[in-house]
Amino acid sequence: MTDSATLSDAPAFAAKLGQRGELRQAVGTSGRVHFDRYLPFIVLHRSASPGRSIARRVAVNSPAYLIWSPEDDALAAQALAAIAAAMSRRFERLLVLTVEDSAWQPARAGSEDLPEFRFRVAASPGERAQGALAALAKALAEIEIDLRQAFVELAGDAGPVDTGASGADVDHLSIAIPQIHRAGDDTFYPQITHELAAACGDALLKAACAFMAKGKTGAPDHYRSLGRSAFLAAALDADRKLDGVARSFDFLLSVSPINTREAMQTFLDGGAQRAPQFRYRPLTVDPDMAKRELYAVDLSKLEDPLLERLLSEKRQEIDHQLTMLATRNSRAFRAASLLHYGTVTTRLLADARAILAAQHPPTPPSRRIGAAEVADTARALVARYQAIDPGFAAEVEVRDDVGSLIVSGGKLMIASNTSMLESRLDPLLAHEVSVHLLTYCNGAAQGLTVFRTGLAQYEGVQEGLGVFAEWAVGGLTAARLRLLAGRVLAVHAMLDGADFVEVFRMLSDDHGIGRRPAFDITARVFRSGGFVKDFIYLEGFQHVIGLVASGASLDPFWIGKIAPGHVSAIEELLQRNLIRPPLFTPEFLGREDVQRRVARLRDGLALQNILDVE
């Protein structure tokens, strides 16, 4: 790496490895060596212009890397020698992967030509190095970015690499990364930069896994388990700051009326002729100031593309919520709500209409219970989970300023005027406590708070799991299913231009929904100016039922509040030991009647006939 004279003049580098082999230490003025744990490979990158280098970004996303600038060659040589010596005592061979940037050839002004998307790879001789090269070349050739497919050029022998560690057996792999992310000398395409760095990092892990497969210790079951097994301080800091912004306001309470009972009575007493006037809590947050704080969070220093993606998605979701708060009670609120939640699909609308058209026997009568009994039973269920582990830190409150049962964070809030059939109590607590509070508490036990507050777009499947819980315990009544279907039709009608009174009459007159439930549905849909969220309950239930019917496991969804698109990310984080399996699982899943219903569901059943399973 450098000549002996230069090396002798440099101050000694002493590697300070932890018990697991963890190391994060400065090398010279701008370099760094990082080891997540003892690993038989290291990624090297040397650059005079680190700010422009895609190869440097790929290197720092690795669980084991050494980066430096030319002026720190001597110290980098010492650092590599120290690391190679430490790793050679653990592993029979070490794989050194050098990454560099391909030559940058800017397009001439006005040209439509794009930089060549071609990787150059090489490896030293030997079975293990060649096996790693084959895996690397295959992974790189599968990369497609911005509708462009990568090409891979095999450049022959990578040549030896001198680690400076006596007795260390080393294989060498080199890769030159095309600079398709650059628009100019100091201008970059951010999305392409992110995708290229993530794809290259993935390919390097596949190569390292192939290298390990030929060794005595063998390879892990999945190459992604080679990734980071500990959160960097930057990730914890970014997560904490995003959580701070998210906790500065209660979104659902902020968009929900505080006078629903009085507004309903006035509306019905007036013959349902005029839209009600709702009142709302004053906002506890300035949306513009919160957005400034939100985007001051630097996600570029996480050194983990997966975590960067998850936190970036969450930031965008918080942004959407703040936009809705900023436009509350205006025409723009509806558009902001639509941007976040999407719209009703043709299939979902057809399913909702089929549910409302289906004939089901009436719900058997049972005695009515109030808020105090609901709260006592909820607290008893919380206590059962707390007997498993005190980490089930949930609270139950009876309040005057909510219209129904609402879970916000780790708190179940029960309307003081609650009056429900006793037969509905078990299914509602299965929904609110054994799904919403349970996933909050499981998420709180993970390393990042985002798993308790919810990854982006988690709400649909979260509500679907809640409705599934109601069905699984045998408490999803025809009236409840019709109510969910009515919400879908109400959202669709609102988006189609119907006003409050028209939607109410459609539900009550055309579909036979009672006047009070019809008002509740309509009020939920028109709150704050037009809130489209309520279609996700039936859509989420539809999705969960599809998963269960296909034999898929729901286990990933108990780990925290996640969306279906995060299942593969959860599996990777579990393999990397960054998160833990769920501490709590819903108690109802162990019931014999629930297992019987699930078994029948897997025989195949249309959504509108779901109540036929008993």
What distance in Å separates the CA atoms of residue 428 and residue 396, rounded to the nearest whole number? 14
DSSP 456: T
Domain boundaries, the chain: 4-230
pLDDT of 447 reads: 87
pLDDT 10s digits, 377-393: 999 999 999 999 999 99
What distance in Å separates the CA atoms of residue 242 and residue 295, rounded to the nearest whole number? 9
pLDDT 10s digits, 195-247: 999 999 999 999 999 999 988 878 888 888 898 888 888 999 999 999 999 99
pLDDT 10s digits, 32-75: 999 999 999 999 999 988 888 999 999 999 999 999 999 999 99
CATH says 4-230 is which class? alpha beta
pLDDT of 49 reads: 87
pLDDT at 441 exceeding the cut of 70: yes
Task: Please name the amino acid found at residue 286.
Answer: D
Q: What is the mean pLDDT of residues 454-475?
A: 95
pLDDT of 261 reads: 87
pLDDT at 521 exceeding the cut of 80: yes
pTM of the model as a whole = 0.85
Q: Which residues of 363-383 are buried (b: 16+ CB within 10 A; e: fewer)?
A: eeeeeebebeebbebbeebbe
pLDDT of 201 reads: 94
φ, ψ of residue 527 in degrees (nearest 5)? -60, 145
Listing DSSP states for 564-589 in one string gives GGGHHHHHHHHHTTSS---S---GGG
What distance in Å separates the CA atoms of residue 359 and residue 172, rounded to the nearest whole number? 70
Least confident of 234-243, 298-307, 508-517, 596-605: 596-605
What distance in Å separates the CA atoms of residue 588 and residue 592, rounded to the nearest whole number? 9
* Average pLDDT over all residues of the chain: 91
Share of the chain above pLDDT 90, in %: 74
Beta strands across the sheet bearing 411-415: 395-399, 411-415, 405-408
Binned at pLDDT 50, 70 and 90, residue 251 comes out as very high
Token pair belonging to 80: 């590599």
pLDDT at 3 exceeding the cut of 50: no
pLDDT at 445 exceeding the cut of 70: yes
Task: Please name the amino acid found at residue 371.
Answer: A
Least confident of 260-274, 441-455, 593-607: 593-607
Q: Which residues of 231-250 are buried (b: 16+ CB within 10 A; e: fewer)?
A: bbebbeebbebbbebbebbb
Say if residues 103 and 57 touch (Cβ distance below 8 Å).
Answer: no
Share of the chain above pLDDT 70, in %: 96
pLDDT of 606 reads: 62
pLDDT of 605 reads: 64
What distance in Å separates the CA atoms of residue 208 and residue 215, rounded to the nearest whole number? 11
pLDDT at 367 exceeding the cut of 70: yes
